[in-house]
Structure 1
Amino acid sequence: MSRRLSRRALPLCVLLTGVLTSALTRATPAAHAHADPSRPRAAERGPVLLQESATARLQTDGSLSDVAGLSKSNVWAVGQEDVWEAWQNRGVITHWDGASWSRFGIRNDASSAGHLRSVAIASPREIWAVGEGHDGLPYVVRGDGSAFDRVSVPQLGTGDWLGGASALPGRMVAVGSRDIKPSDPGAKPGDRGTTTLIATATAKGWTAVGGGARGALYGVALAQKGDGWAVGDRGTEPLIMRSTGSTWKPVTVPSVEGGFLRDVYIDGPKKAVAVGGVYHDGGKIGPLILTWNGKRWSRASVPDRHAELYGVTGDGKGHFWVSGFDSEHPSEAFLLRGGASGWRVVRGELSAKPRTIRLQAVTHVGDLTLAVGHVVDTGDRYTDVVERFQPNTSKSAVTNGTSSPPSER
């Protein structure tokens, strides 16, 4: 979870409009557990990391879109199965308890969810997910950790779309877009396109405000006292909106022609990181990272000029991790690690078989960095993927002897 593509399309290049259209759940049986994958492998060079490549065992053509964690034994992820079936795909909610993944269905769900794009955790008993329903309406889910229900939001309707969410106890914000209508204030005859949409849930109920800016929002992060950032694009350039209470307003950002943003992480009043990409001639996409220093947003230098960046997280202490895809190394998991000394690339194992791996979101809890997404093989078959990275605290690192370990440069 750019407007130069379809409204519902994330910049994932090869995906169908109905697959990751940043489109598309029938209730699934609760608590279907899976065994823990094999032991991790060790890094050979750079800061020593243990890497483990696994799967949450989604069904046919599955993909995970977002992940959020409270601890190493309490991680939630959402996505979809049957990604090629725009009207039959099924949204997925799954949980990692430190040993296995468990599936959860959705109650109060007459039409079923399609693509669940974003998950947000306010507390262990307040988990939210947003995406798209097969009834043509935005899909909002709330759970208490043991059961999930679809939430009806009367303020949302046809032409509205939600792609990102963030939550604090008692407050959830979901962002997306709203189709421009001839009756909208300021709309001109023949106006087309979208405006930003921000939906907020509190103890007082729901509000849904559109029209803050032309374009769409894909990611949002909340801080305490109502502060927050939301990111997206205007169709041809990045868009960032700021909340300093209950009002969201666009802010000045560096001019980046063809730029778009997909996720944002807040590290404090004087530090935030937003990630995305830049469209270049020929349809190629390069990486884009913007950083906030308490006064202004500026563009950061990125070591890989081919990467597409989708998700960002941090540890609250000035260290950041960014998930994405590197078209020059499509078969290797790709992360960026950032801090005071700049950004460095972390690559996963080199696959012996041709494949394309995209890590669409990332979370960091304790010393665990966990990224999720999908792998596409040469037959265009999707398999969900979970990549885990942890420091290697042992004196000797053990490799499996069959594949290359992760590397950092």
Structure 2
Amino acid sequence: MKLRGLAALSALFLPAGVMTAGVAEAAPKSAPQKWKFSTRTNVAGDDSLGALAVTGRKSAWAAGGVWQGPPLLYRWNGSAWRRVKLPAHVNHTLEEMDATSDKNVWAFGGDYSSVLKSFHWNGKSWKTSVVERGEVYTWDAEVISSKNVWLSVSEHSGRGQLRNWNGRKWRSMRVPAAGRLYSLSFSSGKSGWAVGTKASGGGAVAVRWNGSSWKPTALPRIQMPKGSTLHLGSVLALSSRNVYAVGSYSWMVDDDEEFRPIVLHWNGSKWRRLTGPKVHSNLSGLTTDGRGGLWMNVGGDRLANYRAGRWTVTRIPGPAGQHVGLDAMANVPGTATMLGVGYARPDGPEPNTQDSVFFTAR
């Protein structure tokens, strides 16, 4: 679940040196939460859970699928994950999901060649609709209400990068300044953000939704080695005046690609660059930590926490002899608990099996 409507709490997440009138930045606690490997699905076949939505202190959903098999859906009750039985018409691997409550859960999936579908849980049953026919799949999903749902998609029809559900039908929308849009985040129905690539190819773009149209914003000048490419892959809007975006810039050194992290902050009028963690990796998967800071993924095998100008980088935990990765994480609202979903597979160049796994942090 992507948090929205947090304007009253936005000062908790402002970087050092950025203040709002009459509100001071919260003092950081001594250390970020400690991540733990929780359990695995143990489903027959290679399975993947890459989508996560937290809907309350004792409720969360995780979705994915089995390679050449059925879709997977799990629900968390505050202490354990249990698999949810799905009706026959929910028949595609679930690539993305988001929710505002347990009566408004959306998941999306397709067969990568002929159709993209949405699956909506209203608290009693699953309703299916066709988002689009053709070769189309999703990058991100953002649910604002049951009558306002956004998808960023990759497609070849020329109909645009975004799809929006208005309660009756799906409509296509093109953002002229942008190419692919990898991440969406809204603080309200009239204030949203998307980040991705420029329409011209090469370089990053951050576009803003004002309730009626998408407009590009100017990114700060960043000194980079010659031949570098700037990439933004994740955005988090805490309010209209408090937005973060992360990614990296990269360049080639002989046959190797070098990366440096990028962290940007929007204060309501402009973007500025923040000092990032001391890593040589890309940043992705932005989310709040419930303690006045942020969590993000570092290069696939580590996590970084940012609070009050301080960075902490930690390895993703897992069992011995297993390679693990975390694909999605989210804070349980009103707590310092984090939930995560990812994968575990045997070390080695050609692993035979992969299980989806669950993580927690407190």
Change (3 A) 1:64 1:267: same
Matches within 5 A, 1:96-245: 96-107=76-87, 109=89, 112-114=91-93, 116-133=94-111, 136-145=114-123, 147-153=125-131, 156-169=132-145, 170-179=147-156, 196-234=160-198, 235-245=201-211
State the distance in 1 between where 2:311 and 2:341 align.
Answer: 20
Paired AA for residue 144 in structure 2 = L
Contact persistence 1:197–1:212 (CA under 8 A)? no
State the distance in 1 between where 2:191 and 2:290 align.
Answer: 16
Paired AA for residue 137 in structure 2 = W
Alignment length (residue pairs): 316
Contact persistence 1:136–1:158 (CA under 8 A)? yes
Change (3 A) 1:291 1:376: farther
Partner of 1:93: 73
Partner of 2:5: none
State the distance in 1 between where 2:261 and 2:117 align.
Answer: 30
State the distance in 1 between where 2:212 and 2:180 align.
Answer: 19
Instruction: Give 3-state SS (helix, strand or coil) of 1:240's partner.
Output: strand
State the distance in 2 between where 1:385 and 1:295 align.
Answer: 41
Structure 2 unaligned residues grouped into runs of 5+:
1-29, 223-227
TM-score by length of 1: 0.69
Contact persistence 2:289–2:336 (CA under 8 A)? no
Matches within 5 A, 1:235-314: 235-254=201-220, 257-281=228-252, 282-314=256-288
Deviation at 1:108, TM superposition (A): 6.3
Deviation at 1:127, TM superposition (A): 0.6
Q: Does 1:357 align with 2:324?
A: yes
Paired AA for residue 248 in structure 1 = W
Contact persistence 1:162–1:176 (CA under 8 A)? yes
Partner of 1:70: 55
State the distance in 2 between where 1:248 and 1:48 align.
Answer: 35
Contact persistence 2:113–2:135 (CA under 8 A)? no
State the distance in 2 between where 1:220 and 1:99 align.
Answer: 29
Change (3 A) 1:177 1:262: same
Change (3 A) 1:178 1:201: same
Which sits farther off after the overlay, 223-232 or 131-140?
A: 131-140
Q: Once the two structures are superposed, what CA deviation does each residue of 1:340-374 show, in whole Å capped at 9, x if it has no partner?
A: 22332133447532x43221221011211122221
Instruction: Give 3-state SS (helix, strand or coil) of 2:360's partner.
Output: strand
Contact persistence 2:290–2:337 (CA under 8 A)? no
Q: Once the two structures are superposed, what CA deviation does each residue of 1:171-213 show, in whole Å capped at 9, x if it has no partner?
A: 11111233265xxxxxxxxxxxxx8511111235332113533
Deviation at 1:57, TM superposition (A): 0.6
Instruction: Give 3-state SS (helix, strand or coil) of 1:303's partner.
Output: coil
Contact persistence 1:130–1:174 (CA under 8 A)? no
Q: Once the two structures are superposed, what CA deviation does each residue of 1:237-278 show, in whole Å capped at 9, x if it has no partner?
A: 222221010312222224664232332211112211123333
Instruction: Give 3-state SS (helix, strand or coil) of 1:306's partner.
Output: coil
Matches within 5 A, 1:363-382: 363-365=330-332, 366-377=335-346, 378=348, 379-380=350-351, 381-382=353-354
Contact persistence 1:196–1:213 (CA under 8 A)? no
Contact persistence 1:95–1:102 (CA under 8 A)? yes
Partner of 1:342: 310
Paired AA for residue 176 in structure 2 = G
Change (3 A) 1:93 1:52: same
Instruction: Give 3-state SS (helix, strand or coil) of 2:205's partner.
Output: strand
Change (3 A) 1:164 1:48: closer
Structure 1 unaligned residues grouped into runs of 5+:
1-45, 83-87, 182-194, 391-409
State the distance in 2 between where 1:215 and 1:227 align.
Answer: 21
State the distance in 2 between where 1:211 and 1:158 align.
Answer: 20
Change (3 A) 1:324 1:295: same
Contact persistence 2:139–2:152 (CA under 8 A)? yes
How well do the aligned residues superpose, as a CA RMSD in angstroms? 2.8
Paired AA for residue 161 in structure 1 = Y
State the distance in 2 between where 1:321 and 1:349 align.
Answer: 15
Q: Does 1:386 align with 2:358?
A: yes
State the distance in 2 between where 1:299 and 1:48 align.
Answer: 23
Q: Once the two structures are superposed, what CA deviation does each residue of 1:279-299 show, in whole Å capped at 9, x if it has no partner?
A: 432245443332212222233
State the distance in 1 between where 2:69 and 2:155 align.
Answer: 23
